[in-house]
Amino acid sequence: MTWALKRQIFYVIVLLAFVSIFGFLIIYPRLSKAPTCTDNKENGMETGVDCGGICARACINQVDPISVLWSRAFEVVPGRYNAVAYVVNHNKNTAVAKISYRFRFADKDNLYIGKRDGSTFIPPAGSFAIFEPAIDLGNSVPVYTSFEFTQIPEWTTVPQDKIDQLKVFASDINLTGADSSPRLSATVKNHSLFSIPEINVVAILYDASHNAVSVSHTYLDMLGAEQSKEITFTWPESFDKPVVFEEIIPAYDILSVKLK
C-alpha cells in the first residue's frame, strides 16, 4: 500500500467519522425525545395514546358515558317550542369543552316532524340541562322528543381544587302569577374568588309527580368574584298543571375559567 493510498484512506475515515458524529447529533435528540401528550404514542406515564396519567386529556375507556334522563319539548306559543334535555355526567373530575348534539321531534304517530342541532359544554360531576329555544314546527305537535350527542366527547381532566373553588348556586327562588302570567325570580351567586364567564341558567318547573311542566332559559355573560345577580323568567300563558317545585340549574364551561 502506497503512502498516497494510506493518506486517502485516512481522509475517508476522518470524513466518515465527521458525518457519523454530525448525524448522531441531529438524530439522537429526536430518538431520545421525552414523551409528550401530543406525540401520538402511549408512553411515559400515559394510560392510553396521549391520554390519562399526566395528560389533561382523559382516556375514553376510563370515563363513564353520559346519561340522558329525559328530553321534552314545551309549547311557548302555538307552533313554537322550547326543548330541554336533562343530562347527568357521572364523572367527578372530567369535563368536555364542546360537543355537538341533536334534538329530534315526532308527532303522536311517531312520524318525524323536525330537528334542532347545536353544541354545548359538559360540566363535571352532576346534572345539567341543555336548552334549545323557539323551535318552529309549524302545525305539527311534538309528542316525542329524542336527544343524542352526535360526536364522541373529548374528555379533559379537571383538577379537584378547581372544582372545589368554583361554585355557583341559585337561591331566593320565587314563582308568582302561575294562574295568569307566570314569573319566576331568583338570585344567582358566584361563591368563588374568580370571575366566571358565560353562565347558562335553565329553569324547570315540576308538578306534584315531579313531571316537568315548563322550562325557560337565561344567560349571564359574566359573574364576578363573589358577585350576585337577580334573574327573571317569564311565560306568556298560565300552566296546564299546578307547579309545586322549581329547579334552577346554572352551568358554565369550567375549562374556560382561569384561576388567577
Statement: residue 168 has pLDDT above 80: yes
Tell me what pLDDT residue 20 has.
59
Statement: residue 11 has pLDDT above 70: no
Statement: residue 23 has pLDDT above 60: no
Tens digits of residue pLDDT in 183-228: 999 999 999 999 999 999 999 999 999 999 999 999 999 999 999 9
Tell me what pLDDT residue 55 has.
87
Residues 147-160: what's their mean pLDDT? 95
CB atoms inside a 10 Å sphere around CB 244: 13
First-last CA distance in the chain: 76
Tell me what pLDDT residue 37 has.
82
Residues 56-73: what's their mean pLDDT? 92
CATH number of the 159-260 domain: 2.60.40.3230
Strand-pairing partners, residue 141, are none
What CA–CA distances, in Å, run from 11 to 5, 18, 21? 10, 10, 15
CATH number of the 43-158 domain: 2.60.40.3230
Distance between CA 203 and CA 210 in Å, rounded?
14
Query: How would DSSP label each residue in 72-103?
Result: EEEEEETTEEEEEEEEEE--TTEEEEEEEEEE
Residues 247-251: what's their mean pLDDT? 97
Tens digits of residue pLDDT in 102-119: 999 999 999 999 999 999
pTM of the complete model: 0.82
Q: Compute and round to an integer the Cα radius of gyration of the chain.
A: 29
The domains of the chain are located at 43-158, 159-260
Phi, psi of 180 (to 5 degrees): -140, -80
